[in-house]
A and B are shown apart, each in its own frame.
Chain A
């Protein structure tokens, strides 16, 4: 995706990596998120991407070597990544294997909710502790929807 220049190929690889991440979620016992990942990302978002790619029908652009600064930035970022790994490796004692809790155990609302695989836990969290952000997200989606409508509408008027 990063190396290839064709956006369609890129999008395909992207789907691949998203599905991979979903698999990792499954491994981490976050089944709900994995499903969500597949549905929203691989299902909706990437389809949207592909749709736009097709719609715009962008050609494969001419190759242009990146600037020195870009290369330097890339190097630095890779270096940082390496540094992070080294830092992680330095402290093996901080990495105990987390134990999994029984998925059916329901948490009480006062104490921090323990990690549970069941979907009910998400419901509890969303409608209690994260009520306000949840509402805000709803608002955000609404705003995004209106924004998209306005964006597409305005340019149509102008182009006519």
Chain B
């Protein structure tokens, strides 16, 4: 088990999430992809935490998980609200923020 491999996996996960955000237009999937990216970061955090032999990274993961949970909850609430109004969850039709 090397730091190498951990970072490699984290990188792949991150890029996967990133591509998801980039390519998908379904807001649900975009949100999931964001979660995936956060997970990748978590993984990297733990890896570095082990590597540096401190607790800080691991504790940070704890916070990230909490924040992510809150984020998902709020994001999904917004999504539900949006869907009620617009009957869609597709990103390219939701561009009201512009104005």
Which residues of B lie under 8 Å from residue A21 when comparing CB positions? Answer: 13, 39, 42-43
B36 touching A17, Cβ below 8 Å: yes
Bound-state CA distance A5–B80 (Å) is: 20
A27 at the binding interface (Cβ < 8 Å) = yes
Smallest CB–CB gap between A147 and chain B, Å? 5
A70 at the binding interface (Cβ < 8 Å) = yes
A148 touching B73, Cβ below 8 Å: yes
Q: Which of B4, B32, B33, B49 contacts A95 (CB 8 A)?
A: B4
A45 touching B69, Cβ below 8 Å: yes
List CB contacts (< 8 Å) of A88-146 with chain B. Answer: 88, 95, 97-99, 101, 107, 112-116, 121-122, 125-126, 129-130, 133-134, 137, 140-141, 144-145
B16 touching A2, Cβ below 8 Å: yes
Which residues of B lie under 8 Å from residue A107 when comparing CB positions? Answer: 55
A97 touching B90, Cβ below 8 Å: no
B65 touching A37, Cβ below 8 Å: yes
A95 touching B3, Cβ below 8 Å: yes
Smallest CB–CB gap between B96 and chain A, Å? 15
Nearest chain B residue, comparing its CB with the CB of A14? B32
A48 touching B1, Cβ below 8 Å: no
Q: Which of A88, A140, A155 contacts B7 (CB 8 A)?
A: A88
Bound-state CA distance A1–B39 (Å) is: 15
B95 at the binding interface (Cβ < 8 Å) = no
B19 touching A74, Cβ below 8 Å: yes
A114 touching B39, Cβ below 8 Å: no
Residues of B bordering A, CB below 8 Å: 1-4, 6-9, 11-16, 18-20, 22-26, 28-29, 31-33, 35-36, 39, 42-43, 46-47, 49-56, 58-59, 61-63, 65-74, 76-81, 83-85, 89-90
10 closest A-B pairs by beta carbon, nearest first, are: A113-B55, A144-B70, A148-B77, A2-B20, A151-B77, A125-B59, A81-B15, A155-B81, A112-B54, A115-B53
